Structure 1
Amino acid sequence: MMHGRRSGVVVVVIVVLLLPVHGEKIDVVEVDNVDDGSSISLPVTPPTVPEPEDERRSHFRAMAAKDLARHRQMAERSSRKRRQLVVAETLEMPVQSGMGVVNVGMYLVTVRIGTPPVAFSMVLDTANDLTWLNCRLRRRKGKHHGRPSSTATTTTMSAAMEPEMDAPVVKKTWYRPSLSSSWRRYRCSQKDACGSFPHNTCRSPNHNESCSYEQMYEDGTVTRGIYGRETATVPVSVSGAGEGQTAVLLPGLVLGCSTFEAGATVDAHDGVLTLGNHAVSFGTVAAARFGGRFSFCLLHTMSGRDTFSYLTFGPNPALNGGAMEETNLVYSPDGEPAFGAGVTGVFVDGERLAGIPPEVWDPAVLGGALNLDTGTSLTGLVEPAFEAVRAAVDRRLGHLQKEDVAGFDICYKWAFGAGAGDEGVDPAHNVTVPKVAFEFEGGARLEPVARGIVLPEVVPGVACLGFRRREVGPSVLGNVHMQEHVWEFDHMAGKLRFRKDKCTNHGGQPPPSPSSSSSSSSSSSSPPAN
């Protein structure tokens, strides 16, 4: 696990090359040659809610269905586990919005992986451990092993989509190990490595057998493939280096080469970048090299498609703008990759809600506290925490007619939108959105922004709040309530820090096109060892 561990990644000797990005030549250096105080960065853009009414309603329904499927998979994984148990350098990575691709509220990180580096759009996931890319192994006799013959343009079939919704056609970027000289596949015989990887499906310690995996969830999502070691190339601004740009090579990444994917929007992106608490997650490997911490700021969904913020490994200059709230990071006692914070109270408009027993937030009881999950949109609360929030909200919005909408648990006949401000004040309907706040261990308090709580026009004339009931724990803080805050996860100190932030002061280069690379992806100067 990440917490409590101080060891770094093994750094290999890599030659310096030139990488053209945005029309410029960029020097690429070894990670150990980066001076203290340097900043390594890649951009993040927010999921945007479509403006046309019909598209916006489809977006909210798809988002709710996606969340429900994800909650089921997490509950199944957690309950199964419980039954079995009865440095001053900075790495930043840009995160982009997935809403222009398919309506499922995903934050995407653009990462250049392989040698030569190719840009991929990957889902940012704090509650997962397996980092993987859609992969094509070497073709044999004109057919790809493990994947039906197809072009790079595929049809997205998502568990989040309703039957009447058209599946969009998505242009994907395939990872090809045979074209990357830095790819090294793991074998089942490598017990110290392969034997510790999650979702392992090796049948024997055979030297010739690739270290394979399969992720299968209750919602029908499946990914299968093989494990390998790879290198990422990330832009870095080196202090005292003068003019010009530099990139750093980050080796030692454990990457899943996925030869089969199905369900849960797997065709709406190129893969998943994990920040979970497991030795093989991208977050663990990168944070170990950059001070054991990472941070990000999630822009609001109304920020626009051309805006972006950053996922940052190491000290983040954007955190110097004001005081941060701080609490202890809480890890799952079952060894699950998710982590979060211990809740000591929930408030609505300053009123502490009564009737929520402490065991609702006890990791030993529910497998986690309030887990922070960027892959989930709505915040899911177990009983009786959900009922306490719902009742407090109803007391303040009691003059509005309640409505039942599939996939949502708190809805009202309320055309919230056109006249309402960012602070959630809607004079036309005599409504002010109730302020919900979570108090954490040590007194830190999170108050999600009002415009992140209300989902307007889920169906015509009906608005819903971004809370849902979870039948099985732990409770989950979704990305709609993490928006417009900067978050720092300091695993070395075991601390979670956060504060309100518009995320607009996180400068840097915009994300590259996911299909771009430093050179043609169809050839390689030196073949990899497969």
Structure 2
Amino acid sequence: MAGLFHLFFLLSLSLSLSLALCRPSEVPGTTTILDVAASLKKTTQALAFDPHTAHRRLLDEEKTATLRSSATLSLQLYSRDFLPLPNFTTRHKDYESLTLARLRRDSDRVRSITAMVGIAINGSDSKPAKVAAMPDGIQGTIVSGSSQGIGEYFCRVGIGRPAKPQFLVLDTGSDVSWVQCLPCTDCYKQADPIYDPTGSDTYTPLRCFSEPCRSASNAACRNATCHYQVVYGDGSFSIGELAAETLTIGDAPPVENVAMGCGFDNEGTFVAAGGLLALGAGALSFPSHLPSPSFTYCLVDRDTPDTSIIDFGPPTAQPEASTITTKLLRSKKIRTFYYLELTGISVGGTKLPIPPSALAIDKDGSGGVILDSGTAVSRLNKQVYEPLRDAFVKGTRHLSPGTGPGIFDTCYNMPPMKKMQVPSVVFHFGEGEGKELRLRPNNFLLPVDSKGNFCLAFAKTPSPLNIIGNVQHQRMRVVIDVENSVVSFTPNIC
């Protein structure tokens, strides 16, 4: 009997050791574990989203909402792929087609941003520019690429008094907020009724020599009032009257005298949105109208229908032990974007040989690193991307090559039911200890289909400008602290 017990013990020990050897373990500082099965499960859940159910829930919430006096300006953010709008949410036959649609929008977004920066620095795009004209002489350059305004995140904002709810694109890469208005010369289809400024007690057209009118890059005088034009990369545009209006954000008291466009002539692919809420760093953006221009947001995983949150005003939460901070930098040439002091990247515990100049804003205003919630896949210039890719490939020789869309050149085919060991990826901010942001594997390895193909979620750009996209800061609390010129990241706090 004792012999049988001893044999059973040895067999159990052997099985436990075998399982332990088969199960990958994280090596602190050098490797991390990608849960392949969990990631692929989310790709299936993303396709199962029902916009009809979500729409009924939204209507019930708006019917039962009561006016409260919350001091917090807080908004829910809806992902473009999970809008609670049956007639506007696109259904995809499989996850691969969803990925391709996302990447097409992403490439357009990046082209438009780099063109905006190029125009600000050089005065013109590298390609011949088209010109859009509006009455009384306003002309604007149409940059290459497609519309920034199509947006990846949407919010629900009350406009005017009494407040009329509208879906707006939320964009950290724009400075002028606007909404489609009656009477329309030309308006595209939107989810909510087109806004009628005559029904608002607080709508006030701005005069030609008002400060907001002088701050607008494309503005002109017409009948003693200020008219604006904003133009996006695919030729989408909004033209109309610049006005002061009241906006209601969540349950907080209304924000009065917000400069925004009332667009009578609008064209573009803005999905269901009636307009755009600008969160850029320019003088006309929504945060610039608040007592504090700072804001905090947290983006959930891209394949979940859960809503994200954005809070306006100085950060209310105390920094966690895991919070990483870096300097918020500004370009002398363009004020719209939020630049970060990224000083290096490590892969597999080894810091990459990236020259400091490849991450810095030069004296002409080109280059640098911006944080952009509307870009998904981070774009890195050649001097940054190639060392990162080469180091990652070196640390993944045990993985099987995979296939992916053309934007990616480093893909793997993962066993669907496994957890896989992969090299760690760390962002370095500034100098000294406590400035290292360790990314989750889902922040740098993206599923591109439901068959187990994952790609490294960075892409090379010919531009000197680096863009940190939303994939790299999902599941993190991000604080844009404008007053103190600081950006902070707190992992896994959403």
TM range (shorter): 0.7 to 0.9
Are the equivalent residues in 1 in contact too, given 2:228–2:240 (CA < 8 A)? yes
Determine the C-alpha separation between the residues in 2 that align with 1:268 and 1:51. 11
Distance 1:320 1:341, change over 3 A: closer
Using structure 2 for the length normalisation, give the TM-score: 0.73
> 1:466/1:259 Cα in 2 relative to 1: closer, same or farther (>3 Å)?
farther
Matched position secondary structure for 2:195: coil
Instruction: Tell me, in whole angstroms, the C-alpha distance in 2 between the residues paired with 1:111 and 1:326.
Output: 30
Partner residue, 1:300: 301
What's the secondary structure of 1:267's corresponding residue? coil
Instruction: Please give the per-residue CA displacement for 1:406-455, whole angstroms capped at 9, x wherever unaligned.
Output: 44223424146x425xxxx33xxxxx233222111244222332113222
What is residue 474 of structure 1 aligned with on the other side?
465
**What is the deviation of 1:235?**
4.0
Q: For the Cα contact (< 8 Å) 1:366–1:473, is it kept in 2?
A: no
Query: Contact (CA 8 Å) 1:319, 1:486: kept in 2 or not?
Result: no
Counterpart of 2:277 in structure 1 is: 273
The 1:191/1:23 distance shift into structure 2, 3 A limit, reads closer
Whether the 8 Å contact between 2:166 and 2:274 is mirrored in structure 1 is yes
* Structure 2 residue 303 is matched with structure 1 residue 341: no
Q: Give the counterpart of 1:107 among 146, 153, 177.
A: 153
Deviation at 1:391, TM superposition (A): 0.7
2:227 to 192, 208, 211: 211
5 Å-filtered alignment, 1:22-101, equals 22-26=63-67, 38-46=71-79, 54-84=93-123
Quote how far apart the aligned CAs of 1:220 are. 3.6
Closer, same or farther in 2 for the Cα pair 1:368/1:181, shift >3 Å?
A: farther
Q: For residue 38 of structure 2, what is the aligned residue in structure 1?
A: none
Q: Deviations over 1:196-233 (max 9, x none)?
A: 21332x1xx4543542213142x444333332111112
1:252 corresponds, among 254, 257, 282, to 257
Contact preservation (8 Å) 1:382, 1:473 = yes
1:463 to 454, 470, 494: 454
The structure with the largest alpha-carbon Rg is 2
Larger mean Cα displacement after TM superposition, 487-496 or 437-446: 437-446
Amino acid at match of 2:345: V
Q: Deviations along 1:111-146, whole A, 9 cap, x unmatched?
A: 21211112222222222212122x1323xxxxx323
CA contact (8 A) 2:403 2:453 kept: no
Q: Give secondary structure in 2 for the equivalent of 1:258.
A: strand
C-alpha spacing 1:483/1:413, structure 2 compared with 1 (3 Å): closer
Do the aligned residues in 1 keep the contact of 2:300 with 2:475 (CA within 8 Å)?
yes
Pairing partner for 2:423 from 434, 457, 461: 434
2:356 paired residue number: 358
State whether residues 337 and 371 of structure 2, in contact with CA within 8 Å, keep that contact through their aligned partners in structure 1.
yes
> What amino acid does structure 1 have at the position aligned with 2:441?
A
Q: Amino acid of the residue matched to residue 111 of structure 2?
A: R
Q: CA contact under 8 A between 1:130 and 1:198: conserved in structure 2? A: no
Alignment correspondent of 2:142: none
How many angstroms does 1:41 deviate by?
Answer: 2.6
State whether residues 259 and 284 of structure 2, in contact with CA within 8 Å, keep that contact through their aligned partners in structure 1: yes
Match for 2:177 among 125, 128, 131?
131
Between stretches 58-67 and 432-441, larger displacement belongs to 432-441
Structure showing greater relative contact order (alpha-carbon pairs closer than 8 Å, 6 or more residues apart): 1
Change (3 A) 1:398 1:126: same
- Measure how far apart 1:248 and its partner are: 0.2
Q: Which of these residues, 283, 295, 306, is aligned with residue 287 of structure 2?
A: 283
Letter in 2 for 1:436: V
Q: Which has the higher helix share?
A: 2
Q: Which of residues 467, 477, 484 is equivalent to 1:493? A: 484
Cα displacement (A) at 1:462: 3.1
Paired with 1:190 and 1:83, the residues of 2 have a C-alpha distance of 28
> How big is each residue's C-alpha offset from its partner over 1:287-312, in whole Å with a ceiling of 9 and x where there is no partner?
xx1x342111111124x32x334211
1:375, CA displacement in angstroms? 0.8
Question: Could you tell me how far apart the structure 2 residues matched to 1:403 and 1:131 are?
Answer: 42
CA change 1:61–1:334 in 2 (3 A) is same
Cα shift at 1:259: 3.3
Residues 273 and 447 of structure 1: CA distance in aligned 2, closer, same or farther (over 3 Å): farther
The 2-side partners of 1:53 and 1:21 are apart by 28
24 and 388 in structure 1: CA distance in 2 versus 1, 3 angstrom threshold: closer
Q: What is aligned with 1:95? A: none
- Rounded to whole Å, the distance in 1 between the matches of 2:446 and 2:92 is 12
Query: What one-letter code is carried by the residue in structure 2 that aligns with 1:70?
Result: R
Q: 1:333 to 1:256 in 2, by over 3 A?
A: same
Q: Provide Cα deviations, 1:255-274, integer angstroms capped at 9, x if missing partner.
A: 122334444x4134232222
Q: Deviations over 1:471-527 (max 9, x none)?
A: 113100101111011011111111112211341xxxxxxxxxxxxxxxxxxxxxxxx
On the 8 A contact 2:177/2:261 being kept in 1, the answer is yes
Instruction: For 2:276, give the aligned amino acid.
Output: V
Q: Matched residues, percent identical? A: 24
1:276 alignment partner, SS class:
coil
CA distance in 2, matches of 1:399, 1:321: 36
> d(CA) in 1 for partners of 2:441 and 2:320?
22
Following TM superposition, by how much is the alpha carbon of 1:345 offset from its aligned partner in structure 2, in angstroms?
A: 1.0
Partners of 2:236 and 2:400 lie apart in 1 by 37
Q: Would you say the 8 A contact 2:377–2:459 is kept in 1?
A: yes
Counterpart CA distance in 2 for 1:445 and 1:173 is: 47
Structure 2: gaps (5+ residues): 1-60, 83-88, 125-149
AA in 2 matched with 1:26: L
**Cα contact 1:228–1:254 (8 A) shared by 2:** yes
Displacement after TM superposition at 1:405 (Å)? 4.2
SS in 2 for 1:312: strand
Displacement over 6 Å in runs of 4+:
49-53
Distance 2:374 2:77 in 1: 14
> 1:302-329: CA deviations, max 9, x gaps?
4x32x33421122444445545222110
Partner of 1:11: none
Question: In the aligned structure 2, how far is the partner of 1:268 from the partner of 1:183?
Answer: 23
Q: Does residue 224 of the first structure (1) align with residue 246 of the second (2)?
A: no
Q: Which residue of 2 aligns with 1:312?
A: 311
How many pairs are equivalent? 400
Q: Distance in 2 between matches of 1:396 and 1:366?
A: 35
CA contact (8 A) 2:381 2:460 kept: yes
Select which of 204, 209, 214 maps to 1:190.
209
TM-score, normalising length from structure 1? Answer: 0.68
- SS of the residue corresponding to residue 67 of structure 2 reads strand
- Equivalent in the alignment of 1:146: 186
**Which residue matches 2:164?**
118
Residue aligning to 1:88: none
C-alpha distance 235-192 of structure 1, shift in aligned 2 (>3 A): closer
Give SS of 1:112's match. strand
- Report the equivalent of 2:324: 325
Unmatched tracts of structure 1, length 5 or more: 1-19, 29-33, 86-103, 139-143, 155-169, 237-246, 427-431, 504-530
